[in-house]
Structure 1
Amino acid sequence: MRHGWLMVREGMYTVGLQYTRRDLYELLDVPKAEQGGDWLNGYHRHRNDYYVFCNVGMPGRTGHDYPNRWDGEKLIWHGKNRSNFEQQAIRNLVSGDYRVFVFYRDEDRAPFTFAGIGHAVPHRDSEFPVRIDWVFGSDEIAGAPVFTDEYAVGAQYTEGQRVQVLVNRYERDRNAREKCIRHHGVICCVCGFDFGERFGELGRGFIHVHHIVPVSEIGESYEVDPIKDLIPLCPNCHAMIHRRNPPLSVDELKVLM
Protein backbone atom coordinates (compact mmCIF):
# COMPACT_ATOMS: atom_id res chain seq x y z
CA MET A 1 0.00 0.00 0.00
CA ARG A 2 1.40 3.38 -0.98
CA HIS A 3 0.82 6.99 -0.16
CA GLY A 4 -2.06 8.83 -1.80
CA TRP A 5 -3.17 12.40 -2.21
CA LEU A 6 -5.69 12.79 0.60
CA MET A 7 -6.13 11.11 3.95
CA VAL A 8 -9.83 10.22 4.30
CA ARG A 9 -10.99 6.96 5.82
CA GLU A 10 -13.98 5.21 4.22
CA GLY A 11 -14.54 1.93 5.96
CA MET A 12 -11.20 0.13 6.32
CA TYR A 13 -9.65 1.88 3.29
CA THR A 14 -7.98 5.25 2.83
CA VAL A 15 -8.86 7.47 -0.13
CA GLY A 16 -5.82 7.93 -2.34
CA LEU A 17 -3.83 4.96 -1.05
CA GLN A 18 -3.01 2.07 -3.35
CA TYR A 19 -4.07 -1.54 -2.81
CA THR A 20 -3.47 -4.79 -4.61
CA ARG A 21 -6.17 -7.43 -4.72
CA ARG A 22 -3.97 -9.47 -2.37
CA ASP A 23 -4.14 -6.56 0.11
CA LEU A 24 -7.93 -6.71 -0.06
CA TYR A 25 -8.00 -10.48 0.39
CA GLU A 26 -5.96 -10.07 3.58
CA LEU A 27 -7.98 -7.14 4.90
CA LEU A 28 -11.28 -8.92 4.23
CA ASP A 29 -10.02 -12.37 5.22
CA VAL A 30 -11.18 -13.82 1.89
CA PRO A 31 -10.71 -17.62 1.84
CA LYS A 32 -8.28 -18.95 -0.74
CA ALA A 33 -11.06 -20.76 -2.58
CA GLU A 34 -12.97 -17.47 -3.08
CA GLN A 35 -10.05 -15.45 -4.44
CA GLY A 36 -9.84 -14.67 -8.15
CA GLY A 37 -12.97 -15.14 -10.25
CA ASP A 38 -15.13 -11.99 -10.29
CA TRP A 39 -12.48 -10.19 -8.25
CA LEU A 40 -10.53 -10.05 -11.53
CA ASN A 41 -13.40 -9.09 -13.83
CA GLY A 42 -14.27 -5.48 -13.03
CA TYR A 43 -16.81 -5.72 -10.21
CA HIS A 44 -17.43 -8.21 -7.46
CA ARG A 45 -19.95 -8.58 -4.65
CA HIS A 46 -18.43 -9.43 -1.28
CA ARG A 47 -21.10 -10.01 1.33
CA ASN A 48 -23.19 -6.81 1.29
CA ASP A 49 -20.62 -4.63 -0.49
CA TYR A 50 -19.50 -4.27 -4.09
CA TYR A 51 -15.93 -3.73 -5.27
CA VAL A 52 -15.35 -2.00 -8.60
CA PHE A 53 -11.92 -2.14 -10.28
CA CYS A 54 -11.26 -0.14 -13.43
CA ASN A 55 -8.52 1.08 -15.72
CA VAL A 56 -8.46 4.77 -16.60
CA GLY A 57 -7.00 5.84 -19.93
CA MET A 58 -5.71 2.40 -20.93
CA PRO A 59 -7.09 -0.98 -22.07
CA GLY A 60 -7.59 -3.87 -19.71
CA ARG A 61 -5.78 -7.20 -19.90
CA THR A 62 -8.71 -8.67 -21.86
CA GLY A 63 -8.07 -6.13 -24.62
CA HIS A 64 -11.24 -4.11 -23.97
CA ASP A 65 -10.56 -0.39 -23.98
CA TYR A 66 -13.50 1.38 -22.39
CA PRO A 67 -13.48 5.20 -22.25
CA ASN A 68 -13.19 5.37 -18.46
CA ARG A 69 -11.93 8.80 -17.40
CA TRP A 70 -11.97 11.38 -14.64
CA ASP A 71 -14.14 14.45 -15.19
CA GLY A 72 -13.07 16.61 -12.25
CA GLU A 73 -14.02 14.54 -9.19
CA LYS A 74 -16.47 12.37 -11.16
CA LEU A 75 -15.33 9.00 -12.50
CA ILE A 76 -17.00 8.08 -15.79
CA TRP A 77 -17.10 4.28 -15.81
CA HIS A 78 -18.33 1.55 -18.14
CA GLY A 79 -19.38 -1.96 -17.19
CA LYS A 80 -18.38 -5.23 -18.78
CA ASN A 81 -18.87 -5.83 -22.49
CA ARG A 82 -22.61 -6.33 -23.29
CA SER A 83 -23.63 -5.27 -19.78
CA ASN A 84 -27.09 -3.68 -19.41
CA PHE A 85 -29.24 -2.14 -16.71
CA GLU A 86 -31.48 -5.22 -16.50
CA GLN A 87 -28.66 -7.37 -15.17
CA GLN A 88 -28.91 -8.02 -11.44
CA ALA A 89 -25.35 -6.92 -10.64
CA ILE A 90 -25.82 -3.59 -12.45
CA ARG A 91 -29.20 -3.08 -10.77
CA ASN A 92 -27.51 -3.66 -7.42
CA LEU A 93 -24.70 -1.20 -8.20
CA VAL A 94 -27.13 1.66 -8.94
CA SER A 95 -29.73 0.76 -6.29
CA GLY A 96 -28.10 2.56 -3.38
CA ASP A 97 -28.68 -0.54 -1.24
CA TYR A 98 -25.02 -1.54 -1.25
CA ARG A 99 -21.76 0.21 -0.47
CA VAL A 100 -19.65 0.38 -3.61
CA PHE A 101 -15.89 0.63 -3.05
CA VAL A 102 -14.31 2.03 -6.22
CA PHE A 103 -10.68 1.40 -7.15
CA TYR A 104 -8.87 2.59 -10.28
CA ARG A 105 -5.43 2.62 -11.90
CA ASP A 106 -3.84 4.40 -14.87
CA GLU A 107 -0.77 2.17 -15.27
CA ASP A 108 -0.77 -1.44 -16.40
CA ARG A 109 -0.24 -3.98 -13.60
CA ALA A 110 0.00 -1.21 -11.00
CA PRO A 111 -1.87 -1.44 -7.67
CA PHE A 112 -5.31 0.16 -7.60
CA THR A 113 -5.93 3.54 -5.98
CA PHE A 114 -8.97 3.76 -3.72
CA ALA A 115 -11.26 6.50 -5.03
CA GLY A 116 -13.82 6.23 -2.24
CA ILE A 117 -17.33 4.90 -1.71
CA GLY A 118 -19.08 5.70 -4.96
CA HIS A 119 -22.59 7.03 -5.47
CA ALA A 120 -23.98 5.93 -8.83
CA VAL A 121 -25.37 8.26 -11.47
CA PRO A 122 -26.60 5.83 -14.16
CA HIS A 123 -26.86 6.78 -17.84
CA ARG A 124 -29.81 4.60 -18.76
CA ASP A 125 -29.82 5.79 -22.36
CA SER A 126 -26.43 4.14 -22.89
CA GLU A 127 -26.44 0.88 -24.82
CA PHE A 128 -23.54 -1.54 -24.41
CA PRO A 129 -21.69 -1.46 -22.15
CA VAL A 130 -23.58 0.47 -19.47
CA ARG A 131 -22.23 3.82 -18.31
CA ILE A 132 -22.30 4.87 -14.68
CA ASP A 133 -20.76 8.07 -13.31
CA TRP A 134 -19.36 7.60 -9.82
CA VAL A 135 -19.31 10.60 -7.50
CA PHE A 136 -17.72 10.61 -4.08
CA GLY A 137 -17.96 12.32 -0.72
CA SER A 138 -21.62 13.29 -0.53
CA ASP A 139 -25.10 11.79 -0.48
CA GLU A 140 -26.25 14.78 -2.53
CA ILE A 141 -25.42 13.34 -5.92
CA ALA A 142 -26.02 16.45 -8.03
CA GLY A 143 -24.01 18.65 -5.70
CA ALA A 144 -21.13 16.39 -4.75
CA PRO A 145 -18.36 18.62 -3.40
CA VAL A 146 -15.01 19.12 -5.04
CA PHE A 147 -12.12 18.77 -2.63
CA THR A 148 -9.60 21.58 -2.82
CA ASP A 149 -6.66 22.43 -0.63
CA GLU A 150 -5.54 25.42 -2.69
CA TYR A 151 -6.04 28.74 -0.91
CA ALA A 152 -8.22 31.34 -2.58
CA VAL A 153 -6.92 34.88 -2.03
CA GLY A 154 -9.60 37.06 -0.46
CA ALA A 155 -12.04 34.19 0.13
CA GLN A 156 -14.58 34.77 2.89
CA TYR A 157 -16.14 32.05 4.99
CA THR A 158 -19.10 32.32 7.34
CA GLU A 159 -19.38 29.84 10.18
CA GLY A 160 -22.54 27.77 10.14
CA GLN A 161 -23.36 28.43 6.50
CA ARG A 162 -22.80 26.19 3.52
CA VAL A 163 -19.98 27.52 1.37
CA GLN A 164 -19.78 26.88 -2.35
CA VAL A 165 -16.19 26.66 -3.52
CA LEU A 166 -15.67 27.33 -7.22
CA VAL A 167 -12.45 26.04 -8.72
CA ASN A 168 -11.39 25.37 -12.27
CA ARG A 169 -10.73 21.96 -13.73
CA TYR A 170 -6.95 22.18 -13.28
CA GLU A 171 -7.14 22.32 -9.50
CA ARG A 172 -9.36 19.29 -9.16
CA ASP A 173 -7.50 17.05 -11.59
CA ARG A 174 -7.08 13.96 -9.42
CA ASN A 175 -4.58 12.38 -11.77
CA ALA A 176 -2.31 15.43 -11.68
CA ARG A 177 -2.41 15.51 -7.87
CA GLU A 178 -1.64 11.81 -7.65
CA LYS A 179 1.32 12.07 -10.05
CA CYS A 180 2.68 14.99 -8.02
CA ILE A 181 2.56 12.84 -4.87
CA ARG A 182 4.14 9.87 -6.62
CA HIS A 183 7.11 12.00 -7.65
CA HIS A 184 7.58 14.33 -4.67
CA GLY A 185 6.19 12.18 -1.86
CA VAL A 186 4.10 13.35 1.10
CA ILE A 187 6.72 15.29 3.07
CA CYS A 188 6.43 19.09 3.09
CA CYS A 189 8.96 20.55 0.65
CA VAL A 190 9.54 23.59 2.88
CA CYS A 191 9.75 22.39 6.48
CA GLY A 192 10.06 18.63 5.98
CA PHE A 193 7.05 17.78 8.16
CA ASP A 194 5.79 14.21 7.74
CA PHE A 195 2.25 13.63 9.07
CA GLY A 196 2.68 9.86 9.04
CA GLU A 197 5.83 10.04 11.16
CA ARG A 198 4.22 12.39 13.66
CA PHE A 199 0.68 11.01 13.88
CA GLY A 200 1.11 7.40 12.72
CA GLU A 201 -1.74 5.78 10.80
CA LEU A 202 -3.97 8.84 11.22
CA GLY A 203 -1.53 11.05 9.37
CA ARG A 204 -0.22 8.58 6.80
CA GLY A 205 -0.56 9.98 3.28
CA PHE A 206 -1.94 13.39 4.28
CA ILE A 207 -0.49 16.47 2.58
CA HIS A 208 -1.62 19.58 0.73
CA VAL A 209 -0.70 20.12 -2.92
CA HIS A 210 0.29 23.66 -3.90
CA HIS A 211 0.12 25.17 -7.38
CA ILE A 212 3.42 26.92 -8.06
CA VAL A 213 1.64 28.82 -10.83
CA PRO A 214 -1.39 30.40 -9.09
CA VAL A 215 -4.67 28.87 -10.17
CA SER A 216 -6.03 32.33 -10.97
CA GLU A 217 -3.30 32.78 -13.59
CA ILE A 218 -3.82 29.49 -15.41
CA GLY A 219 -5.44 29.96 -18.80
CA GLU A 220 -7.80 27.54 -20.47
CA SER A 221 -5.06 26.27 -22.80
CA TYR A 222 -2.54 25.65 -20.00
CA GLU A 223 -1.64 22.04 -19.24
CA VAL A 224 -0.42 21.46 -15.70
CA ASP A 225 2.82 19.52 -15.33
CA PRO A 226 2.30 17.56 -12.08
CA ILE A 227 6.03 17.44 -11.35
CA LYS A 228 7.05 21.01 -12.25
CA ASP A 229 3.84 22.90 -11.42
CA LEU A 230 2.65 21.14 -8.23
CA ILE A 231 4.45 20.63 -4.95
CA PRO A 232 3.47 19.05 -1.59
CA LEU A 233 3.24 21.39 1.39
CA CYS A 234 1.97 20.99 4.94
CA PRO A 235 -1.09 23.17 5.70
CA ASN A 236 1.01 25.60 7.80
CA CYS A 237 3.56 26.31 5.07
CA HIS A 238 0.78 26.36 2.49
CA ALA A 239 -1.07 29.02 4.45
CA MET A 240 2.08 31.11 4.90
CA ILE A 241 2.87 31.02 1.18
CA HIS A 242 -0.57 32.50 0.52
CA ARG A 243 -0.22 35.25 3.13
CA ARG A 244 1.03 37.42 0.30
CA ASN A 245 -0.52 38.14 -3.08
CA PRO A 246 1.11 37.11 -5.33
CA PRO A 247 2.10 34.10 -3.21
CA LEU A 248 5.62 33.63 -1.89
CA SER A 249 7.82 31.16 -3.67
CA VAL A 250 8.96 28.01 -1.92
CA ASP A 251 12.50 29.36 -1.76
CA GLU A 252 11.33 32.65 -0.24
CA LEU A 253 9.46 30.80 2.50
CA LYS A 254 12.51 28.63 3.22
CA VAL A 255 14.57 31.79 3.76
CA LEU A 256 11.98 33.11 6.24
CA MET A 257 12.19 29.88 8.21
Structure 2
Amino acid sequence: IYAVLLSEGTYLCSVASMYRLLRREKQVAERRRQARHPARKVPELVAYQPGEVFSWDITKLAGPRKGTYFDAYVMIDIYSRYVVGCQVHLRESGALAEAFMKQVFAQDQVPQVVHADRGTSMTSKPVASLLSDLDVLRSHSRPKVSNDNPYSESWFKTLKYMPAFPERFGSLEHARDFMDRFVHAYNTEHRHSGLGFHTPADVHFGMTWHVDDQRLTALEKAWAEHPERFGKNRLPKKMLLPEVAWINEPIKQEDGEKMLV
Protein backbone atom coordinates (compact mmCIF):
# COMPACT_ATOMS: atom_id res chain seq x y z
CA ILE A 1 0.00 0.00 0.00
CA TYR A 2 2.82 2.37 0.88
CA ALA A 3 4.55 1.74 -2.44
CA VAL A 4 1.36 2.03 -4.53
CA LEU A 5 0.28 5.31 -2.91
CA LEU A 6 3.76 6.79 -3.18
CA SER A 7 3.88 5.85 -6.88
CA GLU A 8 0.58 7.71 -7.33
CA GLY A 9 2.01 10.80 -5.62
CA THR A 10 0.45 10.31 -2.19
CA TYR A 11 2.37 10.06 1.07
CA LEU A 12 0.35 9.29 4.18
CA CYS A 13 2.99 8.02 6.60
CA SER A 14 5.99 5.73 6.85
CA VAL A 15 5.85 1.94 6.57
CA ALA A 16 6.62 1.69 10.29
CA SER A 17 3.68 3.94 11.11
CA MET A 18 1.37 1.81 8.97
CA TYR A 19 2.38 -1.32 10.88
CA ARG A 20 1.98 0.51 14.17
CA LEU A 21 -1.58 1.48 13.26
CA LEU A 22 -2.35 -2.03 12.02
CA ARG A 23 -1.10 -3.54 15.28
CA ARG A 24 -3.22 -1.10 17.25
CA GLU A 25 -6.29 -2.27 15.35
CA LYS A 26 -5.15 -5.91 15.70
CA GLN A 27 -4.90 -6.33 11.96
CA VAL A 28 -1.41 -7.87 11.95
CA ALA A 29 -1.72 -11.60 12.73
CA GLU A 30 -0.93 -15.04 11.36
CA ARG A 31 -3.60 -15.83 8.75
CA ARG A 32 -3.16 -19.59 8.90
CA ARG A 33 -4.81 -21.73 11.54
CA GLN A 34 -2.24 -22.53 14.21
CA ALA A 35 -2.04 -25.77 16.15
CA ARG A 36 -2.79 -25.19 19.81
CA HIS A 37 -1.14 -27.74 22.06
CA PRO A 38 -2.81 -28.19 25.43
CA ALA A 39 -0.67 -27.55 28.49
CA ARG A 40 0.81 -30.76 29.86
CA LYS A 41 0.11 -31.65 33.45
CA VAL A 42 3.13 -31.48 35.73
CA PRO A 43 3.92 -34.98 37.08
CA GLU A 44 3.85 -34.89 40.90
CA LEU A 45 5.03 -38.14 42.46
CA VAL A 46 5.88 -38.99 46.07
CA ALA A 47 7.44 -42.11 47.57
CA TYR A 48 7.49 -42.75 51.33
CA GLN A 49 9.31 -46.07 51.17
CA PRO A 50 11.05 -48.37 48.69
CA GLY A 51 8.91 -50.09 46.09
CA GLU A 52 6.39 -47.31 45.54
CA VAL A 53 7.73 -45.32 42.57
CA PHE A 54 10.17 -46.53 39.92
CA SER A 55 11.79 -44.25 37.35
CA TRP A 56 13.33 -45.56 34.15
CA ASP A 57 15.02 -44.36 30.99
CA ILE A 58 17.30 -45.48 28.18
CA THR A 59 20.75 -44.01 27.54
CA LYS A 60 23.13 -44.45 24.63
CA LEU A 61 26.54 -46.09 25.07
CA ALA A 62 29.04 -45.41 22.29
CA GLY A 63 29.99 -48.55 20.36
CA PRO A 64 33.32 -49.55 18.83
CA ARG A 65 32.91 -47.37 15.73
CA LYS A 66 31.66 -43.85 15.18
CA GLY A 67 27.89 -43.83 14.77
CA THR A 68 27.33 -47.15 16.55
CA TYR A 69 25.60 -47.28 19.92
CA PHE A 70 24.23 -49.70 22.49
CA ASP A 71 21.10 -48.94 24.49
CA ALA A 72 21.16 -49.25 28.28
CA TYR A 73 17.75 -49.73 29.91
CA VAL A 74 17.93 -48.61 33.56
CA MET A 75 15.18 -48.59 36.22
CA ILE A 76 15.62 -46.93 39.65
CA ASP A 77 13.60 -46.88 42.86
CA ILE A 78 13.36 -43.14 43.54
CA TYR A 79 13.17 -43.53 47.33
CA SER A 80 16.22 -45.76 47.83
CA ARG A 81 18.05 -44.81 44.58
CA TYR A 82 18.53 -48.55 44.18
CA VAL A 83 18.94 -49.70 40.57
CA VAL A 84 16.32 -52.43 40.37
CA GLY A 85 17.16 -53.33 36.79
CA CYS A 86 19.73 -52.69 34.06
CA GLN A 87 20.00 -54.30 30.63
CA VAL A 88 22.04 -53.40 27.55
CA HIS A 89 20.73 -54.17 24.05
CA LEU A 90 21.64 -53.47 20.46
CA ARG A 91 18.55 -51.37 19.88
CA GLU A 92 15.62 -49.64 21.54
CA SER A 93 12.14 -51.10 21.16
CA GLY A 94 8.85 -51.47 22.99
CA ALA A 95 9.13 -55.26 23.01
CA LEU A 96 12.55 -55.14 24.68
CA ALA A 97 11.26 -52.58 27.17
CA GLU A 98 8.35 -54.88 28.05
CA ALA A 99 10.68 -57.85 28.59
CA PHE A 100 12.98 -55.65 30.68
CA MET A 101 10.11 -54.59 32.95
CA LYS A 102 8.85 -58.15 33.37
CA GLN A 103 12.29 -59.23 34.57
CA VAL A 104 12.60 -56.26 36.95
CA PHE A 105 9.19 -56.88 38.51
CA ALA A 106 9.91 -60.60 38.89
CA GLN A 107 13.22 -59.94 40.68
CA ASP A 108 12.14 -57.01 42.85
CA GLN A 109 8.48 -56.08 43.17
CA VAL A 110 5.67 -54.44 41.25
CA PRO A 111 5.59 -50.71 42.12
CA GLN A 112 2.59 -48.44 42.39
CA VAL A 113 3.90 -46.03 39.75
CA VAL A 114 6.40 -46.22 36.89
CA HIS A 115 7.67 -42.87 35.63
CA ALA A 116 9.50 -42.20 32.35
CA ASP A 117 9.90 -39.62 29.63
CA ARG A 118 7.92 -39.73 26.40
CA GLY A 119 10.31 -41.79 24.28
CA THR A 120 8.89 -44.26 21.80
CA SER A 121 9.69 -47.26 24.01
CA MET A 122 8.25 -45.60 27.12
CA THR A 123 4.92 -44.87 25.41
CA SER A 124 4.80 -48.06 23.34
CA LYS A 125 1.76 -50.32 23.33
CA PRO A 126 3.56 -53.38 24.86
CA VAL A 127 4.71 -51.31 27.86
CA ALA A 128 1.33 -49.63 28.29
CA SER A 129 -0.47 -52.99 28.16
CA LEU A 130 1.87 -54.61 30.67
CA LEU A 131 1.50 -51.79 33.21
CA SER A 132 -2.25 -51.72 32.71
CA ASP A 133 -2.51 -55.47 33.34
CA LEU A 134 -0.50 -55.06 36.56
CA ASP A 135 -2.55 -52.03 37.71
CA VAL A 136 0.58 -49.88 37.72
CA LEU A 137 0.04 -46.17 37.18
CA ARG A 138 1.95 -44.77 34.20
CA SER A 139 3.53 -41.35 34.60
CA HIS A 140 5.35 -39.37 31.91
CA SER A 141 7.49 -36.26 31.79
CA ARG A 142 6.32 -33.19 29.95
CA PRO A 143 7.80 -32.84 26.45
CA LYS A 144 11.34 -31.40 26.48
CA VAL A 145 11.39 -31.06 30.30
CA SER A 146 14.32 -33.19 31.49
CA ASN A 147 13.81 -32.10 35.11
CA ASP A 148 10.62 -34.17 35.18
CA ASN A 149 12.77 -37.31 35.28
CA PRO A 150 15.56 -36.17 37.65
CA TYR A 151 16.54 -39.50 39.20
CA SER A 152 17.30 -41.24 35.92
CA GLU A 153 19.06 -38.19 34.46
CA SER A 154 21.18 -37.80 37.60
CA TRP A 155 22.12 -41.48 37.56
CA PHE A 156 23.22 -41.28 33.93
CA LYS A 157 25.41 -38.28 34.78
CA THR A 158 27.00 -40.19 37.67
CA LEU A 159 27.70 -43.06 35.28
CA LYS A 160 29.16 -41.07 32.40
CA TYR A 161 31.22 -38.60 34.45
CA MET A 162 33.12 -41.25 36.36
CA PRO A 163 36.82 -41.48 35.33
CA ALA A 164 36.58 -45.18 34.47
CA PHE A 165 33.71 -44.73 32.00
CA PRO A 166 35.04 -45.79 28.55
CA GLU A 167 34.97 -43.39 25.64
CA ARG A 168 33.75 -46.33 23.55
CA PHE A 169 32.72 -49.91 24.27
CA GLY A 170 34.44 -52.55 22.19
CA SER A 171 31.46 -54.89 22.02
CA LEU A 172 28.02 -55.59 23.43
CA GLU A 173 29.60 -58.00 25.93
CA HIS A 174 32.01 -55.27 27.06
CA ALA A 175 29.12 -52.84 27.63
CA ARG A 176 27.07 -55.41 29.53
CA ASP A 177 30.00 -56.43 31.75
CA PHE A 178 30.85 -52.82 32.57
CA MET A 179 27.25 -51.91 33.39
CA ASP A 180 26.81 -55.01 35.59
CA ARG A 181 29.90 -54.12 37.61
CA PHE A 182 29.00 -50.46 37.87
CA VAL A 183 25.41 -51.14 39.00
CA HIS A 184 26.63 -53.58 41.67
CA ALA A 185 29.16 -51.04 42.96
CA TYR A 186 26.63 -48.22 42.89
CA ASN A 187 24.02 -50.22 44.78
CA THR A 188 26.31 -51.70 47.43
CA GLU A 189 29.27 -49.30 47.80
CA HIS A 190 28.19 -45.80 46.76
CA ARG A 191 27.45 -43.62 49.81
CA HIS A 192 24.67 -41.37 48.56
CA SER A 193 24.57 -37.85 50.01
CA GLY A 194 20.80 -37.73 49.51
CA LEU A 195 20.39 -40.86 51.65
CA GLY A 196 22.31 -39.76 54.73
CA PHE A 197 25.41 -41.32 53.14
CA HIS A 198 23.89 -44.79 53.17
CA THR A 199 24.17 -47.10 50.19
CA PRO A 200 21.07 -47.61 48.03
CA ALA A 201 21.06 -51.30 48.97
CA ASP A 202 20.98 -50.55 52.71
CA VAL A 203 18.01 -48.24 52.21
CA HIS A 204 16.20 -50.55 49.80
CA PHE A 205 16.48 -53.58 52.06
CA GLY A 206 15.99 -51.80 55.39
CA MET A 207 19.53 -52.17 56.74
CA THR A 208 20.20 -48.53 57.63
CA TRP A 209 19.57 -49.12 61.34
CA HIS A 210 22.53 -51.51 61.48
CA VAL A 211 24.83 -48.95 59.82
CA ASP A 212 23.55 -46.18 62.10
CA ASP A 213 24.35 -48.29 65.17
CA GLN A 214 27.88 -48.86 63.92
CA ARG A 215 28.37 -45.14 63.27
CA LEU A 216 27.02 -44.20 66.70
CA THR A 217 29.32 -46.70 68.41
CA ALA A 218 32.34 -45.23 66.62
CA LEU A 219 31.33 -41.68 67.57
CA GLU A 220 30.75 -42.57 71.22
CA LYS A 221 34.16 -44.26 71.39
CA ALA A 222 35.85 -41.18 69.91
CA TRP A 223 33.89 -38.94 72.30
CA ALA A 224 35.04 -40.96 75.29
CA GLU A 225 38.69 -40.68 74.24
CA HIS A 226 38.80 -37.08 72.99
CA PRO A 227 35.67 -35.04 73.83
CA GLU A 228 37.57 -31.80 73.11
CA ARG A 229 37.61 -32.66 69.41
CA PHE A 230 33.85 -32.25 69.15
CA GLY A 231 32.39 -28.80 68.57
CA LYS A 232 29.99 -27.49 71.25
CA ASN A 233 30.94 -30.53 73.37
CA ARG A 234 28.36 -32.77 71.81
CA LEU A 235 28.14 -35.51 69.24
CA PRO A 236 27.43 -34.57 65.60
CA LYS A 237 23.85 -34.81 64.42
CA LYS A 238 22.81 -38.15 63.04
CA MET A 239 22.79 -38.32 59.23
CA LEU A 240 19.11 -38.92 58.59
CA LEU A 241 17.30 -40.45 55.68
CA PRO A 242 14.80 -38.15 53.97
CA GLU A 243 11.20 -38.84 54.91
CA VAL A 244 10.03 -38.74 51.30
CA ALA A 245 11.37 -38.69 47.77
CA TRP A 246 9.48 -36.76 45.14
CA ILE A 247 9.38 -35.64 41.55
CA ASN A 248 8.06 -32.07 41.38
CA GLU A 249 7.14 -31.74 45.04
CA PRO A 250 3.33 -31.60 45.39
CA ILE A 251 1.57 -29.04 47.56
CA LYS A 252 1.35 -30.39 51.10
CA GLN A 253 -2.04 -31.25 52.54
CA GLU A 254 -3.24 -28.90 55.28
CA ASP A 255 -4.55 -31.75 57.43
CA GLY A 256 -1.08 -33.24 57.72
CA GLU A 257 -2.00 -36.42 55.85
CA LYS A 258 0.32 -38.02 53.38
CA MET A 259 0.54 -36.40 49.99
CA LEU A 260 -1.06 -38.48 47.31
CA VAL A 261 0.94 -39.89 44.42
In terms of fraction of residues, the more helix-rich structure is 2
Determine which structure has greater relative contact order: mean sequence separation of CA pairs < 8 Å that are 6+ residues apart, divided by chain length.
Answer: 2
Q: TM-score, normalised by structure 2?
A: 0.24
In terms of fraction of residues, the more strand-rich structure is 1
* Larger Rg belongs to: 2
Q: TM-score, normalised by structure 1?
A: 0.24
